[in-house]
Amino acid sequence: MKIALLSRNRKLYSSRRIIEAAEKAGHKVVVIDVLRAYMNVVSHKPSIHYKGQDLTGFDAVIPRIGASVTHYGTAVLRQFEMMGVVSLNESVAITRSRDKLRSLQLLSRKGIGMPLTGYASKPDDIKDVIKMVGGAPLVIKLLQGTQGIGVVLAETQKAAESVIEGFMGVHADILIQEFIKEAGGSDIRCFVIDGKVAAAMKRQGAEGEFRSNLHRGGSSSLIKITPEERSTAVRASQIMGLNVAGVDLLRSNHGPVVMEVNSSPGLEGIEGATGKDIAGMIIDNLEKLQPGKTRTRGHG
């Protein structure tokens, strides 16, 4: 197969591993920086140009689109889809999962457990929103944040009010969430491929840190997940329409709750913690996908 890897940096661990696994399986990989791709949107013959060349003859595309370029990156991916090229994860599914509020609404509609979550846009309603999610302690999250940046724990009602007021004062979009204290600063990353949890790891925040992000000094280790956690992760990725996903769960008193479904989960942490060849499994799965048999077609 001729595979387009949409990545802004071929040197990143995940990109390197995907290229390695694809080449090992006999495929050819072309790395494409989406910001250098440009398109014509016409009826009948959509095409993509890249640094002056027509991008043709691709069989499959692997999107690894960074959060900051989601809008343009998914437009390029959509163009590939319009040209009949099969994608590991489709543009609609990526767009859904990148919008924290939208994805939580989709998950709640299907009865997936999640932390009690509130959303408001005007400071006048802060007190009532805090009440709706059960009062302090609360976690307040910037909708645009990644890697734990913009995730704040407010221990008291007063702290929560002033943090929310502060974010709203600069017109930031936020979520207000029940604090799952019993998770003890750890979460579980389930790596889902084609309806199965291919690997799982526990991430533990550094001493005194409630955020378990590896970028914030957290550490990862192997974990055995329960059947309920397994089915929650699989269902969450299916609801998003993602073929490959990193589903982040917290162990709460009321069962597993989903925090986030990631459409470009990193490979370094999970391959390091589990010793599994996740990149190889992704390529095996890509080989089985067929264009036109999309799960997300026609669904916003």
Interface with ligand ADP (CB under 6 A): 115, 139, 141, 145-148, 151, 177-180, 183, 187, 205, 210-213, 248, 250, 259-260
Phi-psi region of 274 (alpha: psi -120 to 50; beta: other; left: phi over 0): alpha
- Considering the complex, what minimum distance in angstroms separates the CB of residue 173 from ligand ADP? 14
Tell me if the bond preceding 256 is cis, omega within 30° of 0: no
Closer residue to ligand ADP in complex, CB, 137/291:
137
Q: How far is the CB of 202 from ligand ADP (least distance, A)?
A: 11
Minimal distance, residue 30 CB to ligand ADP, in Å: 30
Longest Cα–Cα distance of the chain, Å, equals 60
CA distances from 76 to 5, 37, 72, 180, 212 (A): 12, 7, 6, 38, 33
CB 188 → ligand ADP: shortest distance, Å?
Answer: 10
Rounded to the nearest whole angstrom, what is the least distance from the CB of residue 269 to ligand ADP in the complex?
Answer: 12
CB nearer to ligand ADP: pick between 73 and 118: 118
Q: Are 206 and 217 in contact (CB under 8 A)?
A: yes
Give the HSE-up count for residue 289: Cα atoms under 13 Å, Cβ half-sphere: 29
Which is closer to ligand ADP, CB of 84 or CB of 184? 184
Q: How far is the CB of 143 from ligand ADP (least distance, A)?
A: 10
Question: Which C-beta is closer to ligand ADP: that of 97 or that of 294?
Answer: 97
Smallest gap from residue 167 Cβ to ligand ADP (A): 14
Nearest CB to ligand ADP, comparing residues 83 and 153: 153
- CA–CA distance from 62 to each of 16, 81, 221, 255 (Å)? 13, 12, 27, 33
Nearest-approach distance from CB 186 to ligand ADP, in angstroms: 7
**Cβ proximity to ligand ADP, 78 vs 141, nearer residue:** 141
Residue 17 or 211: which CB sits closer to ligand ADP? 211
In the complex with ligand ADP, the residue whose CB is nearer, 187 or 271, is: 187
